Amino acid sequence: MKVSVSSLYQAVELNQEIPPLLIGERCNPNGSKAFREALLAEDWDSCLKMALDQEARGAQVLDLCVAYAGRDELSDMNTLVKLFAGSCKAPLMLDSTSPETLSAVLPLYPGRAIINSINLEDGGANLDKICALAKKYGAAVVALTITEEGMALTCEKKVAAAKEIYRLAVEKHGLRAQDILFDLLTFTVGSGDEKMRDAAIQTLDAIKQVKKELPGVGFTLGVSNISFGLRPAARKVLNSVFLHEAVAAGLNTAIVDAAKVLPYVAISDEDRQLCLDLLFNRSDDALMNFIEHFEQAVEESDEEESDTLLEEQLRQKVLKGDKEGLEDLLTELRGRWQPLDIINGLLVPAMREVGELFGRGELLLPFVLQSAEVMKQSVNLLEPYMEKLSDEGRTSILLATVAGDVHDIGKNLVDIILSNNGYKVHNIGIKVPAEEIIAKAKELQVDVVGLSGLLVKSALLMKENMLQFQAAGLTQPVLLGGAALTPKFVAEDCVPGYENQVVYCADAFAGLKAIRDFESGSLQSTRWESAAVAANKPGPQQEGIDRSQIPPSVPFLGEKIIEDLPAEPLFNYLNQAALFRGRWGYRRGKMSKEEYAELTDKTVLPLYARLKDQALSENWLQPKVAYGYFDCCSEGDSLLVHSTSGEKRFDFPRQPAPPHLCIADYFRSAEEGGDKVGFFVVTIGDRLAEMTSELYASDSYHDYLMLHGLGVELTDGLAEYWHEQMRIEMGLQQQAQADVAAYVAQGYQGSRYGFGYPACPDLEAHLPLFELVKAQQIGVGLTESFEMVPEMSTSAIVVHHPQAKYFAV
């Protein structure tokens, strides 16, 4: 019969194909000094690290014990079970004999746990309570053969105690035989105590007998007790031989330090014989012979034992994004491997794993970037010891943000992921015209070209680029990524223009997958089934627009510059959901609500608070506004704006499908009496943009993403703030509310439409806009393709009509 326990992430069979199932014992203050210290210091991260380390070293289930003098077991268990449940793949063994503690934490655990443990020390009162809990929560239970007389030392007493526990647990409490794991206890054969010479035999015999008399039950054993009092090097061998014998007797799980289990075949015949003589009490001198023999053995400290696992440690560093001690670790690894082998054999596979975890939603973007930082720093540390990484044979990729587009975070994330997966990336920057991309692709003889761009216009430009690439004779596959792209657009508009593959990539890892497909010869152009879904075009559904809306009174006509804005209020208008989940990538994914709340409280909010403090105390932000109110009237799809510098014309697109919305419709025509319109350009200055470039240049990928995201959302916060100011000035709103949740859903009169966005995608409108509000006075300029610089600026037309809401043309 298959019997499993489970964590949030996976089920693990108690009866492994190759027994035993290894239960990690290190998270126990009574058995591990490091864990004790972490527990006493309430250093929960270190506690978790020990759990994850055990997993990495092969533990399939994790024992967790926090009972320690002076500590509150219930509270500590509560904290750690929640932490471990979300982070450990291995199911937990809840090591407590307190029904109160167990009843508090069992409901928190999102899987099938094992309770460790029940016994008959008090005659069965505790056992009754814990078995009831096991039944209620479907947990498995470890049962120790301890009775009112004490620990069962002989086979006979062990079996008798087991039968009594079985009777109570199964017949009285309705547990199933397979729910019970008997720990028949073992004691050291290393003490020289005459009475204990056959301790191993008693335990092994008891396993065989209980297995026969109580079919279906499982077993576990604290294996290392067998060697208590002996030297570490000797213990490791004796424990491993004893484990081998116990498994032969029927043991299916074992509580061990998974890192210290030696494969049986790795133990020499001589060592085996000495161990077996001692375990099976084959001669009076067995213990002395054993000790003498292992006296010669190299004293192994904990450090040396971890030597064998240096490679694993490096993998863990990458997976956890942990740079601590990286230099020492790499120095040691260089003693075993060539630097290039460390990169290709250890680091690259670890990064591949990171990508897979991200793909499965088990690792969030900020952590991926920390992993990439470890990768990058490792390569930097290795480079002095090797010839420069040869580009020969490495797949090379040209990356560029297309002409007219200044957005580089997406392209740079792709660069980070690709270059830290061992590929040669030529990142040639932003606003790159097709001619330059073609020239560079030829000159550098790259294997693949990747184009990026955020704007709606960039998507259209990519379509044109395909034709230009084709005409210029490029043959490399082209990968396309960007916010305004869809697989449908790529398949229908870009693929036909270019003979070779054109592939839509939703994120950096899709790009990585495409490169791997290219290498394996399986890269294919993006296809789009026209029968498949076409995206909705949401928006107001009204038939007609009320023509009788009276224009608001405006405080002045013409433009105004505001340069002395304090930065702090912007944070009240910052959209935290968009920043945390969208820009920063702290998505909930597979986490429970509680786990996500914990991530938010422990990681995200503290980071946000720290950045906010720094931004204010170090003056990262220089918020400035150029805005104005103008007389205007609509004329067909256009808006004519009157100003002292003459009439400006804004042409707006109209939806081709019902309800055929167009921004101009929200304004009265000249015949209807004309109207009023507002415009603004806001910026937080260029300081933050400079800082983000520096972070990117210094490979601080994580901070780069965080700061960039903060800047973009603060810019939007400033726009939200200023839009509110303008509503107040126009009498559309009484006072400042800074209600971000309401503003997200346009809970106000009118709308602000950003140029370059779906209702008015044409950036050329920036030309008349800039003439109207004189945005150059606040340091904002336009690129040749009418994008604003610095990047952290935004613009809008402010519409007062109550029916005006977001829509897409």
Partner 1 sequence: MRYICTCCGYTYDPAKGDEMNQVAPGVEFDDLPDSWVCPLCYATKDQFDPLD
- Three-state DSSP state, 224: helix
CA 592 vs CA 77, 82, 108, 417: distances in Å: 19, 11, 11, 28
Instruction: Supply the minimum distance, in Å, between the C-beta of residue 752 and partner 1.
Output: 12
d(CA 256, CA 220): 10
The residues, any chain, with a CB within 8 Å of residue 547's CB and separated by 6 or more, are: 668, 672
Instruction: Supply the minimum distance, in Å, between the C-beta of residue 632 and partner 1.
Output: 26
Is 752 assigned a ligand-binding role in the annotation?
A: yes
DSSP 8-state class, residue 103? H
- For partner 1, give the closer residue by CB, 553 or 746: 746
Instruction: Supply the minimum distance, in Å, between the C-beta of residue 576 and partner 1.
Output: 8
The secondary structure of 228-261 as a DSSP string is: TTS-HHHHHHHHHHHHHHHHHHT--EEEE-GGGP
- For partner 1, give the closer residue by CB, 441 or 484: 484
Total Cβ atoms within 10 A of residue 28? 20
- Binding residues (CB under 8 A) for partner 1: these are 533-536, 538-541, 575-578, 581-582, 587-589, 593, 740-741, 744-746, 758, 805-806, 808
Question: Which structure tokens are listed for 437?
Answer: 């991309």
Q: Greatest CA span in the chain, whole angstroms?
A: 116
CA 30 vs CA 34, 35, 116: distances in Å: 10, 9, 15
Q: What share of the chain is helix, strand, coil (3-state, %, to 5)?
A: 45, 15, 40
- For partner 1, give the closer residue by CB, 640 or 798: 798
Instruction: Supply the minimum distance, in Å, between the C-beta of residue 577 and partner 1.
Output: 3
Is 406 assigned a ligand-binding role in the annotation?
A: yes
- For partner 1, give the closer residue by CB, 438 or 459: 459
Is 630 assigned a ligand-binding role in the annotation?
A: no
Instruction: Supply the minimum distance, in Å, between the C-beta of residue 740 and partner 1.
Output: 7
Instruction: Supply the minimum distance, in Å, between the C-beta of residue 574 and partner 1.
Output: 10
- For partner 1, give the closer residue by CB, 471 or 741: 741
- For partner 1, give the closer residue by CB, 71 or 587: 587
308-334 core/surface letters (b: 16 or more CB in 10 A; e: else): ebbbbbbbbbbbbbbeeebeebbeebb
Is 137 assigned a ligand-binding role in the annotation?
A: no
Instruction: Supply the minimum distance, in Å, between the C-beta of residue 651 and partner 1.
Output: 22
Is 452 assigned a ligand-binding role in the annotation?
A: yes
- For partner 1, give the closer residue by CB, 400 or 663: 663
Is 807 assigned a ligand-binding role in the annotation?
A: yes
The residues, any chain, with a CB within 8 Å of residue 420's CB and separated by 6 or more, are: 351, 372, 375, 376, 379
- For partner 1, give the closer residue by CB, 288 or 577: 577
Instruction: Supply the minimum distance, in Å, between the C-beta of residue 248 and partner 1.
Output: 49
Instruction: Supply the minimum distance, in Å, between the C-beta of residue 363 and partner 1.
Output: 16
- For partner 1, give the closer residue by CB, 323 or 488: 488
- Are β-strands 793-799 and 751-753 bridged in parallel, bridged antiparallel, or unpaired? antiparallel
d(CA 5, CA 113): 6
d(CA 333, CA 217): 45
- For partner 1, give the closer residue by CB, 569 or 758: 758
CA 691 and chain centroid, separation? 24
Total Cβ atoms within 10 A of residue 210? 23
Is 224 assigned a ligand-binding role in the annotation?
A: no
Instruction: Supply the minimum distance, in Å, between the C-beta of residue 582 and partner 1.
Output: 4
d(CA 615, CA 618): 6
**Residue with tokens 């800082």, as numbered in its chain:** 691
| Number of Cα atoms under 13 Å in the Cβ half of residue 243 | 31
Is 423 assigned a ligand-binding role in the annotation?
A: no
Query: Would you list which residues are annotated within the binding site for S-adenosyl-L-methionine?
Result: 752, 806-807
Binding site members for methylcob(III)alamin: 404-408, 452, 508
Residues tagged in the binding site annotation: 404-408, 452, 508, 752, 806-807
